[in-house]
């Protein structure tokens, strides 16, 4: 079976090389049959990688411990879901998943464009297949998922596997990596179209129109992947945090930031024909950062909790990254003539410049995160001494940048294209500004003295008001014309221009998430050691450990504390934080108990019994104000993304600059 798996991967590798050669040769020699055969090779690769993946999944589900990968990441007692999730629980399997997702995307792209963009498609196929080829080299020749244990040696066999890391045995973690991969890999498609557009010297924006949905969908997957990871960290790791500025977390954030910048600046190109070079740079940077993130996770360059076991694939990634950066930079610089702007900037106070600032701040944030992640390596290379760049650095640098970005989220959408008059600015921002200032005043009057928290909540109020105002104005106009109720009018309004109003919903999601982030300024925590029956207090809660139970199942042994939660003497809840010990991996893990409410979460981690033999329960208790708004904001953000994907009812013809005469260079214009 393992031979068939390896054979499928090697065949897929050969076909990927064929697809590259056939597509490019077919295009150059004007041989459509060769081009089509290159495209069919893409389908064949998908079948082969689906077959290889199915074999690995079968081996995992049937606990075939002859395979090193199965023995290393699965065991007999694991539930079926986690046996399946072990597909991406280790280096080799997750690379196979990468390759499989890419082959799926490639097949969809080739199928949906089989009659369109015939001049660009050969290069789209070739670009996708270069990436595919790279990943197939890795899993075919360097870190094969089908490696067999102890072949030819007198080893009877492995009785049971090591099992999946216990921390990964959680539903959110089971879907977090594939979701993130769907986002990471998905950016290969806009990148491939961008490169094909450059290679074929396309004068228009065809690649942008074609890849708009891809970009949005993959951005949605990236957002979901990142937030699932944050949600998992919050509910599994036992320390209550959702973001630790770990190098690998940062690596997942970087392409998301550049993708967000791209989603915004692409509007400048669609509506004004501006920023063409910049959009090429952004889409390329996003894809390159996706590969860079994968490299960071797997190379051991920076130490991280997420890092896979070190392997020789780091050098291969450096080579591939160098190839990508070199080829992209050459193409963009060589084709600058085709990327000239069609319009000019009329005023600094305009939607155009709001986009410029939005891009600047997003990129600054991206750079700050990248710089902080790599600075220990850079500093050590120059000074010879190791330094630490931990969470306080990222918070200090990124909090002001994030707040400015939140401010722009409110400003940008309300400024008119081309130029805004003072009067229109006043009309758009007077009441939102009043709302923001009033929020700040109320918070300060209520005794809140945390500067960033006050700023953040005031800005949230400001941005929320601008969004509400937009929906209100539009819905009111529809109501007055059609007589519909407010909700129906708002739905109609959104349906007429889904991108605009879906975008507002996404912004609202971001506002809600910022409310959740701000709550961190008021976190409380306490670690106590208490006997059964003892009380302790945190925030407004009085807690009592009522009982401690223990037991076991084939996978793990557990010990659980029953904690009564009282407020003003009244019993309001019972929580059961648990500590587990997984037998095969011999590792412990927490199963925290969380009482989630909109205003705050009560979060309990049962760390076990005290070591002095006194049988005291060690409980870490936390109160996290507003944290639920992060997850609510996430769902709103996803809803907004979905709305953006629905075609608008009204097709807009955007006013583009039209050429009404010849340009006379260097001639001053009479005003």
Partner 1 sequence: MSRFGNSVVLLLVAVLALAQSSSELMTPDVVRIGSHLACLCGACNNTVANCPMLECHYARPAKEKIYRMVAEGRTDEEIIQSFVDEHGLQALAVPPKEGFNLLGWVMPFAAIAFGLLVIWWFVRRYQGVRVAASGADDEVFERYRDRIEEDLSRLDS
Under rule CB under 8 A, residue 377 binds partner 1: no
Minimum distance of partner 1 from residue 393's CB (angstroms): 4
Could you say which residues in the range 565-624 bind partner 1, by CB under 8 A? 579-581, 583, 586, 588, 607-612, 618, 620
What is the separation, in whole angstroms, between the first and last Cα of the chain?
A: 78
Tokens at residue 169, please? 């045995």
Shorter beta-carbon distance to partner 1: residue 41 or 397: 397
Could you say which residues in the range 181-200 bind partner 1, by CB under 8 A? none
Q: Phi, psi (5° rounding) for residue 154?
A: -85, 60
Q: Of the listed pieces 56-64, 481-489, 525-533, 628-636, which binds partner 1 according to CB under 8 A? A: 525-533
Minimum distance of partner 1 from residue 381's CB (angstroms): 10
Among 416, 442, 491, 638, binds partner 1 (CB under 8 A): 416
Shorter beta-carbon distance to partner 1: residue 188 or 621: 621
Give kind and range of the element (H or E) at residue 378. Answer: helix 351-383
Q: Of the listed pieces 16-24, 25-33, 330-338, 396-404, which binds partner 1 according to CB under 8 A? A: 396-404
Under rule CB under 8 A, residue 446 binds partner 1: no
Shorter beta-carbon distance to partner 1: residue 107 or 592: 592
Among 10, 349, 557, 642, binds partner 1 (CB under 8 A): 557
Give kind and range of the element (H or E) at residue 68. Answer: helix 68-73
Under rule CB under 8 A, residue 452 binds partner 1: no
Per-residue x/- track, 331-360, partner 1 (CB under 8 A)? ----------x-xxxx-x----x--xx--x
Shorter beta-carbon distance to partner 1: residue 363 or 638: 363
Minimum distance of partner 1 from residue 305's CB (angstroms): 5
Q: Give the orientation angle of helix 498-518 with respect to helix 486-496, to 10 degrees.
A: 110
| 658 class by beta-carbon count within 10 Å (0-12 exposed, 13-18 middle, 19+ buried) | exposed
Minimum distance of partner 1 from residue 28's CB (angstroms): 37
Under rule CB under 8 A, residue 638 binds partner 1: no
Could you say which residues in the range 295-324 bind partner 1, by CB under 8 A? 303, 305
Shorter beta-carbon distance to partner 1: residue 114 or 340: 340
Q: Are 549 and 535 in contact (CB under 8 A)?
A: no
Q: Are 343 and 274 in contact (CB under 8 A)?
A: yes
Residues 6+ away with beta carbon under 8 Å from 195? 123, 124, 127, 284, 327, 328, 331
Minimum distance of partner 1 from residue 437's CB (angstroms): 26
Shorter beta-carbon distance to partner 1: residue 115 or 386: 386
Among 156, 337, 382, 533, binds partner 1 (CB under 8 A): 382
Under rule CB under 8 A, residue 660 binds partner 1: yes
Q: Are 594 and 235 in contact (CB under 8 A)?
A: yes
Q: How far apart are CA 136 and CA 143, in angstroms?
A: 10
Minimum distance of partner 1 from residue 579's CB (angstroms): 6
- Determine the 3-state secondary structure of 158 from DSSP: coil
Shorter beta-carbon distance to partner 1: residue 388 or 568: 388
Minimum distance of partner 1 from residue 101's CB (angstroms): 29
Instruction: Label the pairing between strands 600-609 and 524-530.
Output: unpaired
Exposure class string for 193-211: b at 16+ Cβ within 10 A, else e: bbbbbbbbebeebbbbebb
Minimum distance of partner 1 from residue 112's CB (angstroms): 30
Shorter beta-carbon distance to partner 1: residue 396 or 450: 396
Under rule CB under 8 A, residue 406 binds partner 1: no
Instruction: Label the pairing between strands 587-591 and 524-530.
Output: unpaired
Among 201, 326, 390, 537, binds partner 1 (CB under 8 A): 390
Q: Are 581 and 218 in contact (CB under 8 A)?
A: no
Minimum distance of partner 1 from residue 270's CB (angstroms): 13
Minimum distance of partner 1 from residue 583's CB (angstroms): 6
| 442 class by beta-carbon count within 10 Å (0-12 exposed, 13-18 middle, 19+ buried) | middle
Q: Of the listed pieces 7-15, 252-260, 284-292, 416-424, which binds partner 1 according to CB under 8 A? A: 416-424
Q: Quick one: which of 401, 338, 79 has its CA closest to 194?
A: 338
Binding-residue total with partner 1 (CB under 8 A) = 83
Under rule CB under 8 A, residue 664 binds partner 1: yes
Q: How far apart are CA 624 and CA 96, in angstroms?
A: 39
Shorter beta-carbon distance to partner 1: residue 326 or 392: 392
Shorter beta-carbon distance to partner 1: residue 47 or 404: 404
Q: How far apart are CA 656 and CA 416, in angstroms?
A: 15
Q: Quick one: which of 170, 218, 231 has its CA closest to 191?
A: 218
Could you say which residues in the range 16-55 bind partner 1, by CB under 8 A? none
Q: Of the listed pieces 173-181, 327-335, 378-386, 484-492, which binds partner 1 according to CB under 8 A? A: 378-386
- Determine the 3-state secondary structure of 586 from DSSP: coil
Q: Quick one: which of 69, 67, 52, 59 has its CA closest to 15?
A: 52
Q: How far apart are CA 440 and CA 297, in angstroms?
A: 41
Could you say which residues in the range 454-483 bind partner 1, by CB under 8 A? none
Under rule CB under 8 A, residue 387 binds partner 1: yes
Shorter beta-carbon distance to partner 1: residue 3 or 527: 527
Shorter beta-carbon distance to partner 1: residue 104 or 347: 347
Residue found under tokens 């007055």: 480
Among 245, 287, 631, 634, binds partner 1 (CB under 8 A): 245
Q: Phi, psi (5° rounding) for residue 662?
A: -85, 150
Q: How far apart are CA 480 and CA 482, in angstroms?
A: 6
Minimum distance of partner 1 from residue 230's CB (angstroms): 14
Under rule CB under 8 A, residue 534 binds partner 1: no
Could you say which residues in the range 219-238 bind partner 1, by CB under 8 A? 237-238
Supply the DSSP string of 449-491, one letter for each residue: --HHHHHHHHHHHHHHHHHHHHHHHHHHHHHHHH---HHHHHH
Minimum distance of partner 1 from residue 246's CB (angstroms): 5
Shorter beta-carbon distance to partner 1: residue 441 or 537: 537
Q: How far apart are CA 12 and CA 49, in angstroms?
A: 7
In order of 78, 359, 523, 596, the CA distances from 620 in angstroms are 28, 41, 13, 16
Q: In 113-187, where does DSSP find H-type helix?
A: 121-137, 171-186
Shorter beta-carbon distance to partner 1: residue 199 or 397: 397
Per-residue x/- track, 63-82, partner 1 (CB under 8 A)? --------------------
Could you say which residues in the range 484-513 bind partner 1, by CB under 8 A? none
Q: Quick one: which of 289, 286, 263, 257 has its CA closest to 275?
A: 263
Shorter beta-carbon distance to partner 1: residue 382 or 451: 382
Shorter beta-carbon distance to partner 1: residue 110 or 415: 415
């Amino acid at each position: 079976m393992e031979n068939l798996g390896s054979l499928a991967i090697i065949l897929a590798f050969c076909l990927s090389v064929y697809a590259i050669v056939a597509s490019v040769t077919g295009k150059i020699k004007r041989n459509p049959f060769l081009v089509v055969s290159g495209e069919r090779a893409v389908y064949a690769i998908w079948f082969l990688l689906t077959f290889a993946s199915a074999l690995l999944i079968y081996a995992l589900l049937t606990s075939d411990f002859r395979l090193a990968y199965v023995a290393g990441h699965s065991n007999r007692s694991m539930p079926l879901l986690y046996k399946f999730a072990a597909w991406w629980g280790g280096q080799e399997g997750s690379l196979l998943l990468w390759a499989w997702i890419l082959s799926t995307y490639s097949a969809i792209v080739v199928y949906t464009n089989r009659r369109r963009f015939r001049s660009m498609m050969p290069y789209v196929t070739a670009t996708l297949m270069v990436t595919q080829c790279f990943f197939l080299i890795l899993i075919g020749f360097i870190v094969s998922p089908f490696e067999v244990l102890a072949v030819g040696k007198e080893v009877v066999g492995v009785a049971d596997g090591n099992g999946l890391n216990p921390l990964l045995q959680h539903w959110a973690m089971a879907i977090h990596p594939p979701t993130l991969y769907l986002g990471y890999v998905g950016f290969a498609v806009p990148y491939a179209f961008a490169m094909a557009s450059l290679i074929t010297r396309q004068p228009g924006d065809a690649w942008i129109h074609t890849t708009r949905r891809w970009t949005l969908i993959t951005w949605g997957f990236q957002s979901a992947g990142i937030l699932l990871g944050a949600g998992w960290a919050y509910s599994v790791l036992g320390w209550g945090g959702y973001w630790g500025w770990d190098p690998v977390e940062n690596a997942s954030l970087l392409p998301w930031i550049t993708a967000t910048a791209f989603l915004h600046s692409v509007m400048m190109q669609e509506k004004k024909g501006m920023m063409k070079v910049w959009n090429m740079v952004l889409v390329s940077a996003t894809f390159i950062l996706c590969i860079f993130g994968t490299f960071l996770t797997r190379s051991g360059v920076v130490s991280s909790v997420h890092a896979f076991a070190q392997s020789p694939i780091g050098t291969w990634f450096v080579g591939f990254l160098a190839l990508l950066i070199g080829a992209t930079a050459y193409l963009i610089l060589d084709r600058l003539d085709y990327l000239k702007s069609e319009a000019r900037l009329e005023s600094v106070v305009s939607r155009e410049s709001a986009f410029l600032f939005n891009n600047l701040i997003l990129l600054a944030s991206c750079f700050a995160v990248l710089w902080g992640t790599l600075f220990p390596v850079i500093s050590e290379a120059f000074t010879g001494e190791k330094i630490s760049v931990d969470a306080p650095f990222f918070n200090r640098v990124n909090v002001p940048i994030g707040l400015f970005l939140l401010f722009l989220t409110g400003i940008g959408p309300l400024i008119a294209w081309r130029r805004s008059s003072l009067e229109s600015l006043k009309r758009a921002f007077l009441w939102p500004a009043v709302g923001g200032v009033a929020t700040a005043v109320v918070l300060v009057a209520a005794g809140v003295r945390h500067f960033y928290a006050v700023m953040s909540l005031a800005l949230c109020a400001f941005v929320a008001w601008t969004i509400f105002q937009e929906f209100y104005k539009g819905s009111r106009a529809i109501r007055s014309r059609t007589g519909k109720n407010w909700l129906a009018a708002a739905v109609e309004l959104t349906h007429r221009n889904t991108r605009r109003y879906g975008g507002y919903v996404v912004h609202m999601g971001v506002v809600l998430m910022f409310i959740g982030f701000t709550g961190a300024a008021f976190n409380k925590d306490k670690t106590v050691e208490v006997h059964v029956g003892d009380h302790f207090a945190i925030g407004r809660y009085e807690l009592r450990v009522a009982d401690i139970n223990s037991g076991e199942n084939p996978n793990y042994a557990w010990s659980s504390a029953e904690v009564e939660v009282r407020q003003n003497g009244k019993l309001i809840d019972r929580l059961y934080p648990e500590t587990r010990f997984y037998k095969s991996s011999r590792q412990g893990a927490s199963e925290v108990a969380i009482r989630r409410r909109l205003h705050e979460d009560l979060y309990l981690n049962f760390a076990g019994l005290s070591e002095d033999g006194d049988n005291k329960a060690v409980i870490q208790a936390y109160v996290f104000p507003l944290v639920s708004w992060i997850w609510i904001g996430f769902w709103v953000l996803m809803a907004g993304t979905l709305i953006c994907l629905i075609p608008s009812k009204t097709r807009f013809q955007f006013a583009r600059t039209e050429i009404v005469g010849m340009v006379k260079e260097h001639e001053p214009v009479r005003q």
